[in-house]
Amino acid sequence: MKYPNGKSSSFRTKAVTQQKTSFSNRGMTLEEDINETNSYYLNTNKAVIHKKPTPVQIVKVDYPKRSAAVIKEGYFKQASTTDYNGLYRNKYIDFEAKQTKNKTSFPLSNIHEHQIEHMQAVNNHGGICFMIIRFSVYDETYFFPAVKLFPYWDSQFNGGKKSIPYSKIKEDGIIIPFQYQARVDYLSIIDQLYF
């Protein structure tokens, strides 16, 4: 089809392109999916798990209107630990969530030493500690126990790789299928592994 000015319509190509679009992620990030899952857990009285707030020191604030404040400058008060914590079946739960676009591995540079130290302390005190890792390119989300993470972390300082191969995450982790209400139903994995 051509318009009166002689240009071709792209109607057909747009329609074909729209059919190929994947809606599997529904535009959600891993953090949004976990927050929705945690809300579902809380509303159904299954668990109490929240995202930890990042402690910030506000230094400069502008007040363009009496009713509005704009933060112009702020600093992190201290290094944060992990992203989420709470209680499930009388057990302390603590985990970090990371999303990567990498196809072949999960870079250990996405984690900080103080986070590893925190996870080790939680593990040593009997808490359930893990990572949730999403490979965006594959639309796959994995439950990865912290005890499986520690050897990879230590190995990088002794000449080992600075990443965890995707194949090892598939082998040592457990895939978390996407669901409607509990989008990232990590508690079902905890039930399998710990209860």
Q: Is 81 annotated as a binding residue?
A: yes
Tokens 């040593």 belong to 124
Q: Is 191 annotated as a binding residue?
A: no
SS (H, E, C) the chain: CECCCCCECCHHHHHHHHHHCCCCCCCCCHHHHHHHHHHHHHHCCCCEEEECCCCEEEEEEEEEECCEEEEEEEEECCCCCCCEEEEECCEEEEEEEEEECCCCEEEHHHCCHHHHHHHHHHHHCCCEEEEEEEECCCCEEEEEEHHHHHHHHHHHHHCCCCEEEHHHHHHHCEECCECCCCCECHHHHHHHHHC
Task: Look up residue 93 and give its two tokens.
Answer: 């739960």
Binding residues are: 81, 83, 96, 115
Binding residues for Mg(2+) are: 81, 83, 96, 115
